[in-house]
Amino acid sequence: MSEQGPRGWKDGETSLATIRSALRAFNDARDWGQFHSPRNLAMAVSVEAGELLELYLWSADDGPQPAVEARNARVAEEAADVLLTLLNLCERAGIDLAAAADAKLARNAERYPVERARGRLEKAGELG
Protein backbone atom coordinates (compact mmCIF):
# COMPACT_ATOMS: atom_id res chain seq x y z
CA MET A 1 0.00 0.00 0.00
CA SER A 2 2.04 2.95 -1.24
CA GLU A 3 -0.46 5.72 -1.76
CA GLN A 4 1.25 9.05 -2.27
CA GLY A 5 0.11 12.09 -0.34
CA PRO A 6 -0.19 15.67 -1.62
CA ARG A 7 3.40 16.54 -0.64
CA GLY A 8 4.87 13.53 -2.41
CA TRP A 9 6.53 12.20 0.74
CA LYS A 10 7.82 8.64 0.62
CA ASP A 11 9.65 6.33 3.02
CA GLY A 12 13.38 6.48 2.36
CA GLU A 13 13.08 9.97 0.90
CA THR A 14 11.41 12.01 3.65
CA SER A 15 13.10 12.71 6.97
CA LEU A 16 11.43 12.77 10.36
CA ALA A 17 12.61 16.38 10.61
CA THR A 18 10.60 17.26 7.49
CA ILE A 19 7.47 15.63 8.87
CA ARG A 20 7.97 17.24 12.29
CA SER A 21 8.38 20.66 10.70
CA ALA A 22 5.17 20.31 8.66
CA LEU A 23 3.32 19.00 11.73
CA ARG A 24 4.58 21.91 13.84
CA ALA A 25 3.34 24.40 11.22
CA PHE A 26 -0.02 22.61 11.03
CA ASN A 27 -0.45 22.73 14.81
CA ASP A 28 0.76 26.33 15.10
CA ALA A 29 -1.71 27.52 12.45
CA ARG A 30 -4.53 26.04 14.53
CA ASP A 31 -3.14 27.02 17.96
CA TRP A 32 -3.36 23.41 19.08
CA GLY A 33 -0.14 23.46 21.12
CA GLN A 34 -2.15 24.61 24.12
CA PHE A 35 -3.76 21.15 24.23
CA HIS A 36 -0.56 19.17 23.66
CA SER A 37 0.76 18.34 27.11
CA PRO A 38 3.02 15.28 27.21
CA ARG A 39 0.43 13.50 29.37
CA ASN A 40 -2.42 14.12 26.92
CA LEU A 41 -0.27 13.20 23.94
CA ALA A 42 0.91 9.96 25.59
CA MET A 43 -2.74 9.02 26.13
CA ALA A 44 -3.54 10.02 22.54
CA VAL A 45 -0.80 7.69 21.22
CA SER A 46 -2.53 4.83 23.01
CA VAL A 47 -5.94 5.85 21.66
CA GLU A 48 -4.64 6.08 18.09
CA ALA A 49 -2.84 2.74 18.42
CA GLY A 50 -6.10 1.24 19.69
CA GLU A 51 -7.92 2.54 16.61
CA LEU A 52 -5.30 0.86 14.43
CA LEU A 53 -5.59 -2.36 16.41
CA GLU A 54 -9.37 -2.32 16.15
CA LEU A 55 -9.09 -2.74 12.36
CA TYR A 56 -7.55 -6.17 12.97
CA LEU A 57 -10.01 -7.26 15.64
CA TRP A 58 -11.34 -10.77 15.02
CA SER A 59 -8.88 -11.46 12.19
CA ALA A 60 -7.84 -15.10 12.12
CA ASP A 61 -4.09 -15.69 12.19
CA ASP A 62 -4.33 -17.61 8.92
CA GLY A 63 -6.95 -15.35 7.34
CA PRO A 64 -6.88 -12.00 5.57
CA GLN A 65 -5.39 -9.10 7.49
CA PRO A 66 -7.47 -7.15 8.36
CA ALA A 67 -10.43 -9.53 8.25
CA VAL A 68 -12.67 -7.08 6.41
CA GLU A 69 -11.20 -5.91 3.10
CA ALA A 70 -12.96 -2.55 3.31
CA ARG A 71 -10.74 -1.73 6.32
CA ASN A 72 -7.51 -1.90 4.30
CA ALA A 73 -7.55 1.77 3.30
CA ARG A 74 -8.00 2.83 6.92
CA VAL A 75 -4.89 0.96 8.09
CA ALA A 76 -2.55 3.53 6.51
CA GLU A 77 -4.64 6.40 7.86
CA GLU A 78 -4.61 5.03 11.42
CA ALA A 79 -0.88 4.22 11.20
CA ALA A 80 -0.29 7.84 10.16
CA ASP A 81 -2.35 9.02 13.14
CA VAL A 82 -0.10 6.97 15.44
CA LEU A 83 3.04 8.44 13.85
CA LEU A 84 1.82 12.04 13.93
CA THR A 85 0.63 11.78 17.52
CA LEU A 86 3.94 10.22 18.56
CA LEU A 87 5.83 13.01 16.79
CA ASN A 88 3.68 15.57 18.62
CA LEU A 89 4.60 13.87 21.90
CA CYS A 90 8.30 13.90 21.02
CA GLU A 91 8.08 17.57 20.02
CA ARG A 92 6.50 18.55 23.33
CA ALA A 93 8.74 16.30 25.44
CA GLY A 94 11.96 17.35 23.69
CA ILE A 95 12.70 13.85 22.40
CA ASP A 96 14.87 13.32 19.33
CA LEU A 97 12.98 10.28 18.05
CA ALA A 98 15.67 9.16 15.60
CA ALA A 99 18.33 9.29 18.33
CA ALA A 100 16.01 7.49 20.76
CA ALA A 101 15.32 4.76 18.19
CA ASP A 102 19.05 4.40 17.51
CA ALA A 103 19.80 4.04 21.23
CA LYS A 104 16.95 1.55 21.70
CA LEU A 105 18.11 -0.63 18.80
CA ALA A 106 21.65 -0.64 20.23
CA ARG A 107 20.29 -1.62 23.67
CA ASN A 108 18.12 -4.36 22.14
CA ALA A 109 21.13 -5.71 20.24
CA GLU A 110 22.91 -6.12 23.59
CA ARG A 111 19.88 -7.73 25.24
CA TYR A 112 19.07 -10.01 22.30
CA PRO A 113 22.33 -11.18 20.73
CA VAL A 114 21.75 -12.99 17.44
CA GLU A 115 23.39 -16.20 18.62
CA ARG A 116 20.90 -16.51 21.52
CA ALA A 117 17.78 -14.82 20.17
CA ARG A 118 17.51 -15.82 16.51
CA GLY A 119 14.17 -17.50 15.87
CA ARG A 120 13.15 -17.41 19.54
CA LEU A 121 10.26 -15.55 21.15
CA GLU A 122 11.48 -15.40 24.76
CA LYS A 123 12.15 -12.12 26.52
CA ALA A 124 15.77 -11.19 27.22
CA GLY A 125 15.80 -12.62 30.77
CA GLU A 126 14.40 -15.94 29.53
CA LEU A 127 16.96 -16.61 26.79
CA GLY A 128 19.52 -18.27 29.03
Percent of the chain with pLDDT over 70: 98
Distance from C-alpha of 89 to C-alpha of 36, rounded to nearest angstrom: 8
Please report which confidence band the pLDDT of residue 4 belongs to, taking 50, 70 and 90 as the band edges. confident
CA angle 116, 119, 120 (to 5 degrees): 65
More confident residue, 72 or 128: 72
Report the number of secondary-structure helices (H) and strands (E) in the chain: 5, 0
Q: What Rg value do the Cα atoms of the chain yield, rounded?
A: 18
Q: What is the pLDDT, as a whole number, of residue 99?
A: 97
Give residue-wise pLDDT tens across range 37-88: 999 999 999 999 999 999 999 999 999 999 899 999 899 999 999 999 999 9
